Amino acid sequence: MKKFVVFLLLVIFCISGCGEIELNNAAIPIAFGIDSKDNRIFVSVQIAKPVSPGTSAGNAPQFFVITASGQTFSEASRNISLFFASIPLWSQVQVSLLSDTKAQQGVDDLVDLLVRNRFVRKTNTLVVTKNATPEQILTINPYLESYTGVAIRKLLQSQEKQLGIYIHTDIEEFLQKLSAPGVEPTIPLITIQKNGREKQLLLDGTAVFKDTKMIGSLNETESRGYSLINPKTKTIGLFLIPSPVDPEHKVTLEISYSQTKVTPVINGQNIKMNIEINLDGNFYEQSGTENLFTPEIFKMIENGAEQELKRQMTLSIKKAKSLNSDIFGWGNLVYHKDPEVWKQVEDDWDQLFPEIPYAIKVNFELRRSYLTDKSFIFR
């Protein structure tokens, strides 16, 4: 708790040049969410509860959530002062939530707020809520974390290392994709999962945008395919394939390294995308007891892995094409490779993108099998 007090003092000291704020009048917002209903904007803020040194909050939530509404974001956020006397230090927000309702309506006004407001950090994690309002998400008391906003950020970071399905998106990247030619933004989706009487957070898909509107989503498999295609991500995670000896059993493989290269092949105004991905992986688990540790079967496992990863990437491309949203930035690649060709096709990109042919080449190589090179033998 002493660390919290020191942190609060440092925050106040750092912002004192922008105006005097007394310590007793300051509050630390962890996350804020934006929703829309009946032509009004709703802003929900999760604020850390101050705890006196030497006391414990027990199992009670260490935060509270305040929601206010207005005709604009600024008015709604200012109206929080009608319920809450302290001044939120908006620069301390770590996570921003956007409701799926608002995302589908369009976020033009939100973009204006994010660009203009100097107190909103562009490194904030950005998520879209699914079948739940930001207020409902922020009231969830998460496992092992004091604040829902912190839990969301760590959840995204953890799954990137363990599963490699969803790509972390911050405000800066979202704004960059909105302003860049030939690429559309995506944002991870988060929802509420009921576990008996308890409610917990669950990452559940990827929101797909067209300009400033959410027009659809990728499911889990399509999201992994999107992550694999994205050259900026070094995908690490687990995936399953049927055993080459007994398809009823599963083999779990771990991706330890991946590198993707996407190259546009331009011939006049004819464009084709070549996608090549090289991966190193580990034999992680098998559900059967058959002997898989022979050079011939290992080669079959590598071929099966290549087919499965290619399938996931293909599903992702087909979904993006059906939504007519260039989330892969193929247009941007054309723009950088040949700006003159991009000038000729830019106005027709919406018609061209769904028809662009592509080729996928996957190279998967098994590197290790951890502590054993054969299955456990029962008596």
Q: Structural domain boundaries of the chain?
A: 1-218, 232-379
Angle at 37 between CA 196 and CA 156, to 5 degrees: 50
Tokens of 325: 């949203």
Can you name the residues that pair with 125 across neighbouring β-strands? Answer: 95, 170
Tokens of 59: 């199992």
pTM: 0.87
Tokens 């199992």, located at residue: 59
Q: What is the pLDDT of residues 287-301, one digit of tens each?
A: 877 788 788 888 999
Which parts of the chain are beta strand (E)? 26-27, 29-37, 40-48, 63-70, 87-88, 95-99, 125-129, 186-195, 198-210, 213-218, 237-242, 250-267, 270-286, 358-368
Q: How confident is the model at residue 359 (pLDDT cuts 50, 70, 90)?
A: very high
Distance of CA 210 to the CA centre of its chain: 17
Give yes or no for a contact between 98 and 33, defined as CB atoms under 8 angstroms apart. yes
Single-letter code of the amino acid located at 164: G
pLDDT cut 90: percent of the chain above it: 59
Tokens 């992680």, located at residue: 284
Going by DSSP bridges, is the β-strand pair 237-242/213-218 parallel, antiparallel, or unpaired? unpaired
Q: How confident is the model at residue 235 (pLDDT cuts 50, 70, 90)?
A: low
**Number of residues that make up the chain:** 379
Task: Provide the Cα torsion 319, 322, 324, 328; round to 10°.
Answer: 20
Can you name the residues that pair with 26 across neighbouring β-strands? Answer: 87
Q: What is the pLDDT of residues 96-116, one digit of tens each?
A: 999 999 999 999 888 887 877
Tokens of 113: 């707020």
- 58-62, 176-180, 321-325: segment of lowest average pLDDT: 58-62
Eight-state DSSP code of residue 248: T
CATH class of 232-379: alpha beta
Q: How confident is the model at residue 120 (pLDDT cuts 50, 70, 90)?
A: confident
Tokens 């992702």, located at residue: 316
From the list 182, 217, 234, 116, the residue with the least C-alpha distance to 349 is: 182
